[in-house]
Amino acid sequence: QVQLQESGPGLVKPSETLSLTCTVSGGPVSTSRYYWSWIRQPPGKGLEWIGNIYYSGSTNYNPSLKSRITMSLDTSKNQFSLRLSSVTAADTAMYYCASYCSIASCQSVGYNYYGMDVWGQGTTVTVSS
C-alpha cells in the first residue's frame, strides 16, 4: 500500500502562490491505478476537493478554483504537486493529498473498489501577512 506525505511552507502571504508537494512511497506515481488528489479543509469546516492528476498528466480541477490551480507530476522524485495562485485568507486550511482509485482506473488494474483509499497526514497552510 502506498503512503503519502505532504510538504510545503506553513505560511504564505496574501496574493502569493501556495506550493505543496506530496511524496509517494510504496508504489510509483506513474501507476495507472490512481488519480493523485488534493483535498483541503478550512479550520472547523468540511472537506473540499481541489483536483487530481493522472499518470498521463491529465488533470481535473474544481471549477471554483480552476483559474488558480496547477498540478504536476515528477516521476523522477515520485512526487506530485499543487500550486494555488493569488491566495487569500479564505485559502487557509489543512491540505491533504490522497490517492483516488476511480471506477475505471481500479477496474483496469483488477481492483473492484473505488474511492480515496490512502491519505497523507495533512499540512496546515495559513495565509497571512
Partner 1 sequence: IQMTQSPSSLSASVGDRVTITCRASQGISSYLAWYQQKPGKAPNFLIYAASTLQSGVPSRFSGSGSGTDFTLTISSLQPEDFATYYCQQLNSYPITFGQGTRLEIK
Give contact residues for partner 1 (rule: CB under 8 A).
Answer: 46-49, 60-64, 96, 98, 100, 102-103, 113-117, 119-122
User: Please, which residue, 81 or 123, has the CB nearer to partner 1?
Assistant: 123
User: Please, which residue, 1 or 76, has the CB nearer to partner 1?
Assistant: 1
Angstrom distance (rounded) from CA 24 to CA 120: 9
Q: Which residues share a beta bridge with 12?
A: 127
User: Please, which residue, 29 or 98, has the CB nearer to partner 1?
Assistant: 98
Q: What is the DSSP string of 47-102?
A: -EEEEEE-TTS-EEE-TTTGGGEEEEEETTTTEEEEEE-S--GGG-EEEEEEEEE-
User: Please, which residue, 45 or 77, has the CB nearer to partner 1?
Assistant: 45
Closest distance between partner 1 and the C-beta of residue 15, in Å?
A: 25
Closest distance between partner 1 and the C-beta of residue 24, in Å?
A: 15
Closest distance between partner 1 and the C-beta of residue 14, in Å?
A: 25
Closest distance between partner 1 and the C-beta of residue 62, in Å?
A: 5
What residues contact residue 77 under an 8 Å CB cut-off, 6+ apart?
23
Angstrom distance (rounded) from CA 13 to CA 128: 5
